[in-house]
Amino acid sequence: MKNIQISPSILSADFSQLGSEIKRLEEGGADMIHVDVMDGHFVPNLTIGPPVIKALRKHSSLKFDVHLMISPVHKYIDAYADAGADIITIHPEATENLENSIKRIKEKNKKVGVSLNPETKIDLIIDLLDQIDLVLIMSVNPGFGGQKFMPEVLDKIKELKKIRERKKLDFDIEIDGGINFDNCKSAIDAGANILVSGTTVFKSNDGDIKKNINLLKLK
């Protein structure tokens, strides 16, 4: 079984203090930093772009887990890779050719993530899983923080885990959307080994990040 990792989403951080917020995450035991990039087109919200990621990069040695909710995504891969992303996660619906986009991310020497929205079928990526480092299962519809967890996506995680074992692959399974102390165990039991959490990490227990991360890891 893979070690459980927590990738806190800076969408829930204090945006006026992002550098120090990332330091707090690092000191609190975060395994990586989840950066949600939204374009107001693919999803109905706007967040941050490459210049902000580049500026934040010097504040942390942790991996930047960059989730691109933008369309068309292919032409922006280089910009986010050059800005300091370590993992670049894209949506199949946001590119004309998923295989080409995966290849481009690899050419930039970055890890490849592919995200599946709640209604997106595994069939879309099943023949590409040997080229993917991480599958991100959305447990909310992407676009806004603070949404309610959708337990029905856990079946998708269980299926991915079976496929991974059957094909002897090694990709990570990440889950993002409404992850909290009530549902983290069910996500881990289903097969997720990376949990993205924003509100729970930053706001619970009076903002005790270390405690919140440990609780999410079931420690």
Give the domain CATH number at 15: 3.20.20.70
User: Residue 146 pLDDT more than 80?
Assistant: no
User: Residue 121 pLDDT more than 70?
Assistant: yes
Query: What is the percent of the chain where pLDDT is above 90?
Result: 90
Please give the pLDDT value at position 21.
96
User: Residue 157 pLDDT more than 80?
Assistant: yes
Please give the pLDDT value at position 44.
82
The pLDDT-based confidence of 59 (bands split at 50, 70, 90) is: confident
Strand order in the sheet with 111-116: 5-8, 194-197, 172-176, 134-138, 111-116, 87-90, 63-69, 32-38
Residue 211 CA, distance from chain mean position: 21
Please give the pLDDT value at position 56.
93
Please give the pLDDT value at position 115.
98
Please give the pLDDT value at position 63.
97
Domain enclosing residue 116, as ranges: 5-216
The pLDDT-based confidence of 145 (bands split at 50, 70, 90) is: low
Please give the pLDDT value at position 46.
84
Q: State mean pLDDT over 48-54.
A: 94
Please give the pLDDT value at position 112.
98
Q: State mean pLDDT over 138-153.
A: 84
Please give the pLDDT value at position 78.
98
Tell me the catalytic residues.
Answer: 36, 176
pLDDT tens for 109-119 read: 999 999 999 99
Angle (CA) 82 89 116, round 5°: 165
Quickly count helices (H) and strands (E) in the chain: 8, 8
Rg (CA), the chain: 16
pTM: 0.96
Please give the pLDDT value at position 148.
86
From the list 151, 150, 157, 194, the residue with the least C-alpha distance to 172 is 194
Alpha-carbon distance 82 to 76, whole Å?
Answer: 10
The pLDDT-based confidence of 144 (bands split at 50, 70, 90) is: low
Mean pLDDT, the chain, rounded, equals 95
Please give the pLDDT value at position 219.
82
Please count the structural domains in the chain: 1
pLDDT tens for 61-77 read: 999 999 999 999 999 99
